[in-house]
Amino acid sequence: QEMDDYLNIKIEGVGSSMNLSSLSTTTGRNGHTLFSVLDGNTLSLPSLKNVANSRFSVSGQQSSIVADSSLASYSSTGLYSAGDGTWTLLVADLDGELDLPAIQTINAAVPTNGGFDRTVHNITAKAGGTINLSGVTTITSPQESDDYLSFNLSGEESSIDVTSLATIRGTG
């Protein structure tokens, strides 16, 4: 798997839009999907239920990705590469908002990467960015001691909401 094998869904430019109202599942074994929203646009994913090996990025005031009704699980277990790899799974920057309150589980249990080096998965809110993961009850951590999932906050008024988190499962 290589970091550059992916489908990029990017909404950029004031007033741009894309209708993905029927999208229910993302999967990826030898690639991944990147959803990117900029310039004050919104991407609504009302039918999204299960997400595997996808990344979400918002940047800019009033930019948002909303999947608030049926999204149940998020898995990043297929996001690793040969050598050290850093993956930004979720990022909200410059007052952007990722509104994902229906996610109940986050599974970052990257498999034992037999010969691969460290894998880092990041969830980042910066420069006033907001990530709503208020429905997450369980997070499963990576399997190896040199792999990790990192929650990062920087800049004023940046936030990540995980108010329902009850269980962190270690797999290593």
Mean pLDDT of 5-28: 91
DSSP readout, 75-123?
A: E-TT---SSSEEEEEEEEETT-EEE-TT--EEE--PPP-TT---EEEEE
Portion of the chain with pLDDT greater than 70, in percent = 92
Q: What 3-state DSSP class applies to 146?
A: coil
Q: Give the pTM.
A: 0.92
pLDDT of residue 58: 97
pLDDT in tens, 58-70: 999 999 999 877 7
The token duo for 132 is 């709503």
Mean pLDDT of 45-53: 92
With a CB cutoff of 8 Å and minimum separation 6, the contacts of 4 are none
Cα separation, 134 vs 168, in Å, equals 15
Cα separation, 61 vs 40, in Å, equals 6
Greater model confidence, 27 or 11: 11
The token duo for 23 is 């999208």
The token duo for 89 is 């799974």
Mean pLDDT of 25-29: 83
pLDDT in tens, 103-119: 999 999 887 655 557 88
Confidence of residue 161 (pLDDT cuts 50, 70, 90): very high
Confidence of residue 41 (pLDDT cuts 50, 70, 90): very high
Confidence of residue 1 (pLDDT cuts 50, 70, 90): very low
pLDDT of residue 117: 75
Cα separation, 71 vs 20, in Å, equals 14
On the question of pLDDT at 152 being above 50, the answer is yes
Closest by Cα among 51, 50, 49, 115 to 80: 115
